[in-house]
Amino acid sequence: MSALFASMDPDGSGTLDFGELHLELRKAKAAAHLGGPPSSPQGVMPPSPRLPVREDGCPMTAPELEDLARGYQHEGRIFEAHHAYERLA
């Protein structure tokens, strides 16, 4: 622990002032972005799939969307099922 504190207190004052703490936080943030997860969940999520429309080009009705979502769930396509259910609201 002392070595960590000493590395964060370059002037050897025995205290961390705001500038020293800010510098260390910026270093940690930069290091986290190099090998860490993406900064936003949007980078992880695939784009929202377009729902199919009926053959006549009209939007699906609520019962049709429910059937579609159940089919997606049965196939293990949970992401698509979730979006189909969201369209019902």
| Band of residue 49 on the pLDDT scale cut at 50, 70, 90 | low
Domain boundaries of the chain, sorted by first residue: 2-41, 46-88
The residue ranking higher by pLDDT, 82 or 89, is 82
The alpha carbon torsion through 52, 61, 56, 51 (nearest 10 deg) reads -10
Q: Look at residue 75 and tell me whether its pLDDT is greater than 70.
A: yes
Per-residue pLDDT of 8-39, as tens digits, reads 777 788 887 888 888 888 887 777 666 545 55
75/5 Cα distance (integer angstroms): 54
Q: What are phi and psi of 63, to 5 degrees?
A: -60, -35
The amino acid at 62: A
Q: Tell me, what DSSP letter sits at residue 43?
A: G
For the CA atoms of the chain, what is the radius of gyration? 25
The amino acid at 34: L
